[in-house]
Amino acid sequence: MKPRVAFFDFAGCEGDQLQVVNIEEHLLELLELVEVVSFREAMTEHSDDYDIAFIEGSITRASDEQRLKDIRKNAKLLVAIGACATIGGINSIKNVQDMEDVKQYVYGDGAKHFDTYPTRPIDAVVRVDAYVHGCPIDRKEFLSVVKSLLLGKKPELPNYPVCVECKKAENICVFENGEFCLGPVTRAGCGACCVTQGSICWGCRGFVDDPNKDAEKEVLAKYGLAAKDVIDKFHLYTANSELAK
Ligand code: SF4
Ligand code: SF4
Ligand code: SF4
């Protein structure tokens, strides 16, 4: 019998689930390996009988916690997909602001009806067995993680910085142009796609396990920048990170 998988979403834009739906030529390959029993983005059927739960989105209110714990109880394996689930993601921007101001700004007169609290990643509430990083996730990386799990292996994620891939892509470092970037401390795996496309690395894949803070500070100092300059600019994805505190 094929392993049964289910997808669940918390606070997020559903862009990661969309990536799975759009997995195109690999969709049949995926369906040969697993049986999808719940996936609101793609089907109406639902079952609470599943082996692997994929979780998208972050935890932003007390009522999310029990729902997530119930999913954890049902699943043999739980996988966080996308930056909102793996590191708190864009929703964490509110964590560095006054929560009442945030509620007022978003909900206006209806603010009192919403019980939102500082955003947390999935592993702040339940145990997570595997991660698929990115905003949104990369479809090939998603498949590779699924295959590893089905083989009973721990998925291997790159534990070196985006700069390595950026150099391989022969990009001119944005520091040379007076910009700055989170590539030196961010987990690789995306091929430094944002820099290659003319932007900068915003850190959507989270930090490497043991970011070399000293080296990062040295690079910043060389360009006349302080760590605080970078942290202040990069709250987009890193507000929840220890490194950013
Ligand atoms: S990680 Fe990005 S794509 Fe995924 S739900 Fe969050 S905002 Fe959307
Ligand atoms: S542009 Fe960013 S990711 Fe690329 S080498 Fe420079 S710091 Fe690293
Ligand atoms: S370059 Fe940085 S922001 Fe862009 S996908 Fe890679 S990790 Fe995310």
Ligand 2 pocket residue status of 163, Cβ below 6 Å: yes
Q: Which of 128, 150, 172 is the last residue of a domain?
A: 150
Tell me: pLDDT of 37 over 90.
yes
Cβ–ligand 3 contact at 87 (below 6 Å): no
Check residue 59 and give its pLDDT. 97
If one counts the domains in the chain, the total is 2
Whether 218 is covered by a domain: the verdict is yes
Query: Are both 92 and 203 inside the same structural domain?
Result: no
Could you tell me the residue range of the domain that residue 100 belongs to?
4-150
Tokens at 47, concatenated: 């079952």
Please name which of 135, 127, 158 lies closest in space to residue 84, comparing C-alpha atoms: 135
Tokens of 171: 């990009």
146 in Cβ contact with 31 (< 8 Å): no
Q: Is the CB of 203 under 6 A from ligand 1?
A: no
Of residues 240 and 181, the one with the higher pLDDT is 181
Token pair of 12 as six digits: 């997020």
> Among 122, 150, 178, which residue terminates a domain?
150
Between the CA of 74 and the centroid of ligand 3 the distance, in Å, is 33
Residue-wise burial string across 112-126, b where 16 or more C-beta atoms lie within 10 A, e elsewhere: eeeebebbbbbbebb
In this predicted structure, which of 31-40, 156-165, 205-214, 218-227 has the lowest mean pLDDT? Answer: 218-227
Dihedral angle at the C-alpha atoms of 83, 54, 95, 93, nearest 10 degrees? 40
Residues 179 and 131 in one domain: no
**Does 219 sit in the ligand 2 pocket, CB within 6 Å?**
no
- Are 81 and 199 found together in one domain? no
pTM assigned to the model? 0.92
Question: How confident is the model at residue 244, as a pLDDT?
Answer: 56
Residues 232 and 191 in one domain: yes
Same domain, 137 and 221: no
Residue 75 within a domain: yes
Ligand 3 centroid to residue 188 C-alpha, Å: 8
Distance of alpha carbon 105 from alpha carbon 180, whole angstroms: 30
Domain closes at, from 150, 175, 204: 150
Asked if residue 29 and residue 101 are part of one domain, the reply reads yes
Average pLDDT, the chain: 91
pLDDT digits (tens, 9 = 90+) for 61-111: 999 999 999 999 999 999 999 999 999 999 998 898 899 999 999 999 999
As a whole number, mean pLDDT of residues 157-181 equals 93
Residue 245 has pLDDT above 60, yes or no: no
Let me know: does 237 contact 135? Beta carbons within 8 Å.
yes
Q: What is the CATH number of the domain that holds 119?
A: 3.40.50.700
Q: Is residue 82 part of a domain?
A: yes
Q: How many Å apart are CA 7 and CA 38, to the nearest integer?
A: 6
Question: Is position 157 within any domain?
Answer: no
| Ligand 3 within 6 A of CB of 164 | no
If asked whether residues 225 and 118 sit together in one domain, one would say no
Pocket test for ligand 3, best of 86, 159, 168, 202 (most atoms within 8 A of CB): 202
Tell which phi-psi region holds residue 206, choosing left (phi > 0), alpha (psi between -120 and 50) or beta: left
Tell me which of 167, 173, 205, 233 to substitute to probe ligand 2's pocket, judged by most ligand atoms within 8 Å of the beta carbon. 173
The answer to whether residues 213 and 129 belong to one domain is: no
pLDDT of 232 strictly over 90: no
Q: 49 lies in a domain?
A: yes
Query: Within this chain, do residues 80 and 40 fall inside the same structural domain, yes or no?
Result: yes
26/120 same-domain check: yes
130-140 pLDDT, tens digit per residue, is: 999 999 999 99
